Structure 1
C-alpha cells in the first residue's frame, strides 16, 4: 500500500472502497477496491475530500482488509448462514433459516481481544428469522499481518463461532392444575396465553387437560400426553410453595429428571424445568406467565423449540439480565431482559 497525490493516481489500483456520505440522504460506494483510476475520476475523488489515495502494493505477509474479512467470515460461519457482499473490509452474516442463534461467546471475546479486528454479534440464545443480520466482521486497518489472522483461525479451533439451530416441529400437551379452575370457580387464563406463545412456532397442541390438585391425576395426565406422542409438556398452576400446589411433586413422580425448580429471573422465579426420558422437556410455569408481558417462559421457549438442552448452569446464568423492567411499551427482545 502506497500513499500518493490524487492528481497523480491515474492508472493506479485503489486498495479499498471509497464512499460518499450526504447527511440524511445516502452513503454510497463511489469507487470499489480494485478500481483503476481514470482521468475523469480525479474531479470526483477530489469532490469527496480525497486529496490523497492509498494505492495497492502487495506485500509479503500482509493481507488487505477484504481478504482478512473473508477469513473472519470463515471463522464465524456456521450452518444456515450466508455472507453479504464485502464492502470496505466488512462482511455481514445473514440468517438463511428461522432458528435459535448460538454464539461461542468465549472464543468471540478471545478473537476480539487480539486487536485490529472485530466481530460484533447479536445476543446468543435468542430467536432469529430468515434474512436477519446476525453479525458483522471487519479489520480495523487497511492491511493486517497474515500471522495475526492465522492466530485468530487457531483460536477458533475449526469450530464456527456462530450457528443457527433451526426450530423443530413439536407436539405439545398442556396440563392446567388448580381446584379453583377445575371446579369452575374461576376461568382458566393460562390456556390462551400459552397457545398464543406457541403460535410463534410450529407446534401442534394435542390438548389441554384441566385438573384439580391431585398429584397422581397430574402425573397421569403427563404420562397420557407422552404416550400420545407429545414432545413438550407445559404444566400451568400449582407452582408455588403452598401445601395445595402439588405440580412439582407430580412432575417428579413421572420419573422426570428435575433440572431446576427455581430460576433467577423476574418474572418467573418459581419456574421448573425437567426432562422425561432425558429428551422430553416438561415446563412448570409460574402464575406470572398469565399476566406479565414477558417472563422466563420467553427466554427458555426458543431453546426448547430448537432442541437445545438447557442445564442448571444455563438457568443460573440468566440472573445477569434476568430482571424485566415491565416497561409500559414492551420492546422485547430489543431490550436488556435475558441478556
Structure 2
C-alpha cells in the first residue's frame, strides 16, 4: 500500500476503511476497496482525513493487513461453541455459538494484549450468554504486520469459549405467607421467567408456599419429582423469625456451599446442592432490583453445571457492588 494525499487519491482504490466519528457515533465513511472520486475528497477532508492508504502496484507477500490479522487471530482465540464474524475497521467479532456460560482465559487474554499490536476484548467471564450474541472483539492496532509477527500470536488459542447449559428444566418455589394468603401479589415469578425465556430454559414447576419449613421442603421435593433439574426459591432469606427458607434447605439435607453472597443487591442468597440438584435461594431484594441480581450472576452457572466453590463465591466480592445498587435499600 501507499500513503497519499487525498487530493492525489482520485481514481485510486482505498486500501482500508476510513472512519467518521461524531456525536452521533462512529461509522465507516468509505469502505476498503472503494474507488475514490473527486466528491469523496471533500467528504474526507470534512472528516479530518487528509491522507489515505491506497492499494499499490506491488504487494508484499510478507505483510498481512489489519482485516486479515483480526480474523486470523480471532479464529485462533475462539474456542468451543463460538464462531468468528469479520467486522470493519480492523476488527473481528467472536460470537456465541450456543446458549450457555462464557469462559475466558484471563491470563492468556492479558498476555495477548501485552503484545501491543492485537487486543482481545471480551464480556465478563462466567456471564450467561445466548446464541449469536457478541462475546468478544479482536482489534488490530497497526495497519499491517509481518506474517511472522502474526504467527507468533497464534500460540494463544481457545481463550474464549461457551459452556452450554446442561440443565434446562427449572423449578420455582415462591415463599411468603402474605403471598400465599393473597394479601400481596407475587412479583418474583415474572423476574425468573424472563431469565428462563432468555436462555431457553423451561419452567416445569411453579408454586407458592407460606413461610413454613415443611411446606418449603415438600415443594422443593415436588419440583424435583416433576423433573426440575435446578430449583429457585425466593424470599424468606433474612434473619427475621418468619424467614424459614435457609432452615428448610438445610433440613432437606442439601450441601450448602454458601449462605450470604458478597454481592449487592441480593446479598442474602444461598447456593446449595441437594444430591445432584442445585438450589438457588434468593432474597426478596431481587424484586426491587429485577434488572440485575444474584439470579443473573449465579443461575446461569448452575444451569451449566459450573457449580461455584466457596473460594469462587468469596472472590465475587471484587466487583460485587453492582451498578444498579442504591444505598439505603
- Return closer, same or farther for 1:51/1:296 CA change in 2, 3 Å cut-off: closer
- The Cα shift of 1:234 comes to 1.6
Paired position in structure 1 for 2:189: 192
Q: Name the CA distance, whole Å, in 1 between partners of 2:237 and 2:289.
A: 16
Asked whether the 8 Å contact 1:189–1:290 carries over to 2, the reply is no
Q: Name the CA distance, whole Å, in 2 between partners of 1:309 and 1:219.
A: 22
The Cα offsets for residues 87-112 of structure 1, whole Å up to 9 and x where unpaired, read as 44322223444443332222212211
Paired position in structure 1 for 2:91: 90
Unpaired segments ≥5 residues, structure 1 = 329-339
Whether 1:266 aligns to 2:271 is: no
Matches within 5 A, 1:199-214: 199-201=197-199, 202-214=201-213
Root-mean-square deviation (CA, aligned residues, Å) is 3.7
- The Cα shift of 1:318 comes to 2.7
Q: TM-score, normalised by structure 1?
A: 0.75
Choose which of 223, 246, 249 in structure 1 pairs with 2:247.
249
Asked whether the 8 Å contact 1:6–1:52 carries over to 2, the reply is no
Paired position in structure 1 for 2:60: 58
Asked whether the 8 Å contact 1:191–1:208 carries over to 2, the reply is no
- The Cα shift of 1:74 comes to 1.5
Q: Name the CA distance, whole Å, in 1 between partners of 2:184 and 2:19.
A: 62
Paired position in structure 1 for 2:142: 141
Matches within 5 A, 1:1-339: 16-19=15-18, 21=20, 27-32=28-33, 43=38, 48=44, 49-50=50-51, 53=54, 55=56, 57-58=59-60, 60=62, 62-85=63-86, 87-154=88-155, 156=156, 158=157, 160-167=158-165, 170-181=168-179, 184=181, 186-187=183-184, 189=186, 191-197=188-194, 198-201=196-199, 202-214=201-213, 216-277=214-275, 279-293=276-290, 294-326=292-324
- Return closer, same or farther for 1:31/1:323 CA change in 2, 3 Å cut-off: closer
Q: Name the CA distance, whole Å, in 1 between partners of 2:325 and 2:211.
A: 35
Q: Name the CA distance, whole Å, in 1 between partners of 2:126 and 2:178.
A: 36
- The Cα shift of 1:297 comes to 2.0
- The Cα shift of 1:207 comes to 3.0
Asked whether the 8 Å contact 2:233–2:282 carries over to 1, the reply is yes
1:69 alignment partner, SS class: helix
- The Cα shift of 1:199 comes to 4.1
- Return closer, same or farther for 1:29/1:314 CA change in 2, 3 Å cut-off: farther
- The Cα shift of 1:286 comes to 1.3
- The Cα shift of 1:86 comes to 5.2
